[in-house]
Structure 1
Amino acid sequence: MSGAATSAAALPPPAYDQLLGHPKPLWMLFMSEFWERFAFYGIRWALVLYIVAQFHGGDAAGQQPAGLIYGSYLALVYAAAIFGGLVADKYLGYQRSILVGAVFMAAGLFMIAVPNETVFKLGLATIVVGNGLFKPIISTLVGKIYATADERRDSGFTIFYMGINLGAMISPILTQILAAKIFGTEAMPAYKVVFIAAGIGMVISLFWFWLGRAQLKGVGEAPEGANGIGRIVAVFVGCAAAVPVVYALLAMGAATLQIILTVMFVALAGMLLVEGIKNGAQARDKVIAMLIIFAFNILFWMFFEQAGSSFTFLADQIVNRDLGFMTFPTAWFQSVNSVAIIVLAPLIAWGWVKMGSWNPSIPRKFGLGIIFNGLAFLLLMIALGSMVDPETMKIPFWTLFAVYWIQSIGELCLSPIGLSMVTKLAPLRLVGFGMGGWFLSTGIGNNLSGIFAGHVSGEGGMTAASALSGYTFGFWALVIGGVSLFLLAPLIQKLMHGVK
C-alpha cells in the first residue's frame, strides 16, 4: 500500500450504524459471502462424481484421478488468495478486487457446465483466479469494520462463518433436487444444471456486494491515486492471462503441484518475516506464531477435506443410505457439516465467553480442532473395522452422519478463530497478504487431501479395506499432531504477545 493507505489502515473504522449488536456492513458481507458459498459448495458434491461419469465412463478406476483433480483444484483456489491479497493490498483496493473476482468466478462456473474436458478444466482455472480475488479479501473486510481491540471481533467472524455455512447448507440440497428430481434422474443426475445454478448464485453475490458496498463508508476503497478504470482493466487482463497458467498447473498433477505450493509457502513466510522484522521484535514474534499455526492448519485440512472426495465415494458406495422411508442422497451429506456449524457455532461461541479465564488460548483451540478431526477418523476406523454388514458390505448411515458432526466441532475450534487470528497477528501493511497465507496453508492441505483420497480409493476404486487402511493413518496423524500443538501452545502464546 501507499503511505497514505497505510495510515488509513491504522485509523479506527468509521462510526457504523449497528444492527443486532454488530456494525451494519457485517450483514451485507454476510449475505455476499452466503451467495458466493452457495455457488462454491453447490458444485462440491458433484465434481468428483461428474468427472468419473463424464470423463471416465463411470468406471471406478476414475475415482483416483477425480480425487487428485479435486484436491488440486481446491489447493489452487486457496493458493490464488496470495496473489489476490497482494492485488488488493497494493494495487486495486479491496472492494474492486471482490467485484472483479466475482465476475471471473461466475464465468468459470458457467464454463464447467460445458461437457468437454478441456473447457471443464479451463472453467475450474477461471474459478480459481476469481476466487483468489474474492475469498480472502471479503474476510479481510470483516476484520476492518471492527477496531483491533473490539471484543465483538471474534463473534463477528463467527457470525460471518455462519453465513458461509448457510450458503453451503442450502446449495447441495437445492442443486441435488434440480439435478436429480427436476432435470435428471437419481441414476443420471443432470450435473450441468448444478453448475449453472451455482453460476447464478455467484451473479447474485456480485450484485449484492455492488449494491451494498456504500455501507462500508470508504473502508476497502482503492489506494490513493488508484481510482481510475485503468487498474481495473489491467487486473482483468492479468486475470485472463492467469487462467491458462492455472490450467497448466492443474494438468501437472498433484505431486508436482505440491512442490510448487511448498515453494510458494516458504517464499510467503520469508516475506512476512521480513516485514515483521522491520516492525520490531513483537511484530516478528507474532509472524512466527502465525506461521507455526499455519503449519498445523495444513494437517487439519489434509484430512478434513475428504468431504468432497473420498467421503463422497464412501457415501455413494459403502454407506447404507436406505433410511426405510427414503434413500438419503449422497449430495445431502455435504449439507450435514453446514447444519452442524449453524447449530453449534453460537453454542461454542457462547461457551468460549462463559469459560472466562479458562477460555483456551488460540493455539490450544487449534489443537482441539485437530483432535476432534482425529476422533471423526476413529469412528470411521471402528465402523469399517467392525460394523460392515456382511450382506450389503456397507456401514451404518449414522456413522458417516456422526463423522461430519464431530469434524464440525473441530472446524469451529479452528477455522473462524484462524480468520480472526490473521487480522491480529499479520503485519499491518500486509494483512491481505497474511490472509492469503492462511488460505495458502489451507490450499496445501487440500492438495494433500487429494493425494490422500487417491490412496484411499486405490487404482480400482474404493473398498471397505482400502478406506479402513487410509482412515487409520488419518486418525494417528491427527491425534499426534493435535497433542503436539497442545504441548507447544505455551511457547506459541508467548510469541503472540498478549493477542487472544
Structure 2
Amino acid sequence: MSQATHTPPGAAPDYPQTLGHPRPLWMLFMSEFWERFAFYGMRWALTLYIVAQFFDGDNAGQASASRTYGAYLALVYATAVFGGYVADRVIGYQRAILLGAVVMAAGLFMVMVPNQQIFMLGLATIIVGNGLFKPNISSMVGQLYAPGDSRRDRGFTLFYMGINAGALIAPVLTSYLAGHVFGTPAHDNYHVVFAASGVGMLISLVWFWFGRRQLGRVGMPAPEVASPMRVVYVAIGVLVAIPLVYLLMDRAGAVMLQWLLTALFLGVGVVLVIEAIRTGRVQIQRAIAMLIIFTFNVLFWMFFEQAGSSFNFLAQHIVDRDLGGWDFPIGWFQSVNPIAIVALAPLVALTWGWLDKRRIEPSIPRKFGLGLIGNALGFAVLMYALSRLVGSDGLIPLWTLVLCYVLQTAGELCLSPIGLSMVTKLAPPRLVGLGMGGWFLSTAIGNNLAGLFAAGVSGETGMTVESALSGYSMGFWILLGGGVLLFLIAPLINRLMHGVK
C-alpha cells in the first residue's frame, strides 16, 4: 500500500455515476481543462516570442529557440518523476496537485516580464509546479476505477478530451489577444498571452480546491503522513528546485540535458524493477513490458512535438496562410490537434468498446504501433507537399499542415491516453505515482530530442523548404520503422503483461 494513498490499491470507492463513469472523473476533467488551457495558451507563443524579443526577429534565432523550447517541455515532463514520488510517499495526491497549481500560476505571471533571465526563471517555476500537478491528477483518474474495470481505458480517453478541450480554446483566445487587443504587432502583446494563461491556472486551482470533496479519501495522505509540516518541507524543496531547473535550461544545454534525462530514466526503471521484485515474477515482467513501451513513447514524442517549434516556423515562413486577404493566425494551427481530439476521441472510445465486446480489441503494444504509424503519415503529407506542392512563392498549401496535425492526432489517440491507463495497470501498486512519472519522463526525453531535431531542421540561418523536406522525410521513415517493429514484437510484450489489456 502506498503510504500517501489512504485507499487500498485493490479497492475503488463506490462513487455515484454520471454518464457511465464515476462522478469525480468530471471534476478532474474540468481541473485538467483549465490547467491545459494555461499550458497551451502560452505554448504556441514561446518560440516566436524568443526569436522576436531576444533575437530581434532574426531567423538565425530559430535553432536556439527550438532548443530552449525542447528543454522546457522535457523538464516539464521530467519533473513529473519527482512529483509522482512526492505524492506517493510524502504529501498525497490532492496536496501535491494544489501546491503544483499555485507554483505554476506564479511562473505563468513571471514570464510576462520582458527580461530574458526572469523569463527563463518563470519557465523554471512553471516546470516545477507542473511536476507536482500533472502526473498526480492523471494517477487519480486511475484510482477511480477498480482493477479489471473495462471502463478504465474509456475513462482515460474522456479525461484526455478534457486535456484537449482546454488546449483547443487556449490558442484561439490567446492568439486573438496577441493580435487584436492593442492593435500593435503580436510580439508586443505576448505578455497578454501569458497573463491569460496565468488566469486559467488560477481557475484550475479554485476548481480543484472546491471539487476535491467529491474524491473522499482517494488522494488524501494516510494518517501517519498527514502532518501539514510535510507540505511546508515540500514547498521549501520547490524553492530550491526552481533555480536548479533554471540552471539546467540556461547553462547545461539540450545535449547535456539529454544525458541527464537518460540517466534519470534508467534510474527510475531500476527503482520500478526493484519494487516489482518484492512482488514476484508476474510484476517483474509487467514492469519490463511497461519500460519497453516507454522506449517507443520516446520515439513518438520526438517527432510529434514539432508543433511548438519547427511546425511553428514552417507555418510562419513556408505555409501559405492567406485566405482571401486574411492571414490565418499561426497560433490557430495549435488548435487543430485538440479539435481533432475532441472530435475523434469519442469515436475512438466507442471503437475500443465495440471491439472489446467482440474480444478483438487491439492489445496495448499494437495500439502504440498504430500511434507511431499515424504520426508517420502526418510527416508523409508534409513530404509530399514540400516535394510536389511548393508554389512559385515558395509556399505550400495551408491544408497540408492541417492534415498533418489531424493524422498525427489519430496516432496520438491510439497511444497517449492508452499509455496513461497502462501505467495504472502495470506499475507496482506501491509506486503508481512514480510509474506515471516514468511515463512522463519518457515523454520528456522525446520532447528534448524534438527540440534538437527542430534545431537541425532550422539550421544556422533558419528553416528552408529543402531543410524541412530532409528533416521530415527522416522523421517519416523512423516512425514507420518503429511502428512496424512494435507490431512484430507485440506478442512478446503481451506475454510479459500477463493478461493486462
Q: Residues 36-185 of structure 1: matches in 2 within 5 Å?
A: 36-185=35-184
Q: Residues 256-335 of structure 1: matches in 2 within 5 Å?
A: 256-324=256-324, 326-335=326-335
Q: What secondary structure is seen at the aligned counterpart in 2 of 1:225? A: helix
Q: Please list the CA deviations of residues 207-264 of structure 1 after superposition, one character each: whole Å capped at 9, or x if unmatched.
A: 1000010100110001322222211111111001100000011021100000000000
Q: Residues 367-446 of structure 1: matches in 2 within 5 Å?
A: 367-390=369-392, 392-446=393-447
Q: Which runs of 5+ in 2 are unaligned?
A: none
The whole-number CA distance in structure 2 between the counterparts of 1:249 and 1:430 is 27
For residue 227 of structure 2, what is the amino acid of its counterpart?
A: G
Identify the residue that residue 480 of structure 2 maps to in structure 1: 479
Identify the residue that residue 358 of structure 1 maps to in structure 2: 360
For residue 322 of structure 1, what is the amino acid of its counterpart?
A: D
Q: Following TM superposition, by how much is the alpha carbon of 1:188 offset from its aligned partner in structure 2, in angstroms?
A: 4.2
Q: What secondary structure is seen at the aligned counterpart in 2 of 1:288? A: helix
Q: Answer yes or no: is the 8 Å Cα contact 1:63–1:454 preserved in 2.
A: yes
Identify the residue that residue 342 of structure 2 maps to in structure 1: 342
Q: What secondary structure is seen at the aligned counterpart in 2 of 1:418? A: helix
Q: Following TM superposition, by how much is the alpha carbon of 1:72 offset from its aligned partner in structure 2, in angstroms?
A: 0.2
Q: Please list the CA deviations of residues 372-424 of structure 1 after superposition, one character each: whole Å capped at 9, or x if unmatched.
A: 1011111111100111002x100001100100000000000000000000000
Alpha-carbon RMSD across the aligned residues, in angstroms, is 1.1
Q: Following TM superposition, by how much is the alpha carbon of 1:189 offset from its aligned partner in structure 2, in angstroms?
A: 4.7
Q: Answer yes or no: is the 8 Å Cα contact 1:62–1:461 preserved in 2.
A: yes
Q: What is the TM-score with the length of structure 2 in the denominator?
A: 0.98
Identify the residue that residue 492 of structure 1 maps to in structure 2: 493
Identify the residue that residue 32 of structure 1 maps to in structure 2: 31
For residue 436 of structure 2, what is the amino acid of its counterpart?
A: M
Q: Following TM superposition, by how much is the alpha carbon of 1:348 offset from its aligned partner in structure 2, in angstroms?
A: 1.2
The whole-number CA distance in structure 2 between the counterparts of 1:188 and 1:422 is 40
How many residues matched? 498
Q: Answer yes or no: is the 8 Å Cα contact 2:6–2:221 preserved in 1.
A: no
Q: Please list the CA deviations of residues 34-83 of structure 1 after superposition, one character each: whole Å capped at 9, or x if unmatched.
A: 00000000011100000000000100000000000000000000000000
The whole-number CA distance in structure 1 between the counterparts of 2:261 and 2:459 is 24
The whole-number CA distance in structure 2 between the counterparts of 1:370 and 1:191 is 34
Q: Following TM superposition, by how much is the alpha carbon of 1:183 offset from its aligned partner in structure 2, in angstroms?
A: 2.8
Q: Answer yes or no: is the 8 Å Cα contact 2:5–2:221 preserved in 1.
A: no
Q: Following TM superposition, by how much is the alpha carbon of 1:15 offset from its aligned partner in structure 2, in angstroms?
A: 1.4
For residue 434 of structure 1, what is the amino acid of its counterpart?
A: G
Q: Following TM superposition, by how much is the alpha carbon of 1:296 offset from its aligned partner in structure 2, in angstroms?
A: 0.1
The whole-number CA distance in structure 1 between the counterparts of 2:183 and 2:45 is 13
For residue 324 of structure 2, what is the amino acid of its counterpart?
A: G
Q: Following TM superposition, by how much is the alpha carbon of 1:352 offset from its aligned partner in structure 2, in angstroms?
A: 1.6
* CA distance 1:480–1:238, change in 2 (3 Å): same
Q: Following TM superposition, by how much is the alpha carbon of 1:17 offset from its aligned partner in structure 2, in angstroms?
A: 1.2
Q: Answer yes or no: is the 8 Å Cα contact 1:48–1:63 preserved in 2.
A: yes
Q: Answer yes or no: is the 8 Å Cα contact 2:168–2:336 preserved in 1.
A: yes
Q: Following TM superposition, by how much is the alpha carbon of 1:20 offset from its aligned partner in structure 2, in angstroms?
A: 1.3
Identify the residue that residue 249 of structure 1 maps to in structure 2: 248
The whole-number CA distance in structure 2 between the counterparts of 1:202 and 1:10 is 30
Q: Which runs of 5+ in 1 are unaligned?
A: none
For residue 106 of structure 1, what is the amino acid of its counterpart?
A: A
* CA distance 1:126–1:386, change in 2 (3 Å): same
Q: What secondary structure is seen at the aligned counterpart in 1 of 2:11? A: coil
Q: What secondary structure is seen at the aligned counterpart in 1 of 2:7? A: helix
Q: Answer yes or no: is the 8 Å Cα contact 1:18–1:24 preserved in 2.
A: yes
Identify the residue that residue 232 of structure 1 maps to in structure 2: 231
The whole-number CA distance in structure 1 between the counterparts of 2:50 and 2:2 is 45
Identify the residue that residue 448 of structure 1 maps to in structure 2: 449
Q: Following TM superposition, by how much is the alpha carbon of 1:11 offset from its aligned partner in structure 2, in angstroms?
A: 4.1
The whole-number CA distance in structure 1 between the counterparts of 2:187 and 2:373 is 38
* CA distance 1:7–1:132, change in 2 (3 Å): closer
Q: Following TM superposition, by how much is the alpha carbon of 1:8 offset from its aligned partner in structure 2, in angstroms?
A: 3.4
Q: Answer yes or no: is the 8 Å Cα contact 1:67–1:454 preserved in 2.
A: yes
Q: Answer yes or no: is the 8 Å Cα contact 1:348–1:412 preserved in 2.
A: yes
For residue 370 of structure 1, what is the amino acid of its counterpart?
A: L
Q: What secondary structure is seen at the aligned counterpart in 1 of 2:202? A: helix
The whole-number CA distance in structure 2 between the counterparts of 1:321 and 1:148 is 49
Segments ≥4 residues shifted beyond 6 Å: none
The whole-number CA distance in structure 1 between the counterparts of 2:465 and 2:239 is 43
The whole-number CA distance in structure 2 between the counterparts of 1:480 and 1:14 is 43
Q: Following TM superposition, by how much is the alpha carbon of 1:357 offset from its aligned partner in structure 2, in angstroms?
A: 2.4
For residue 407 of structure 2, what is the amino acid of its counterpart?
A: I
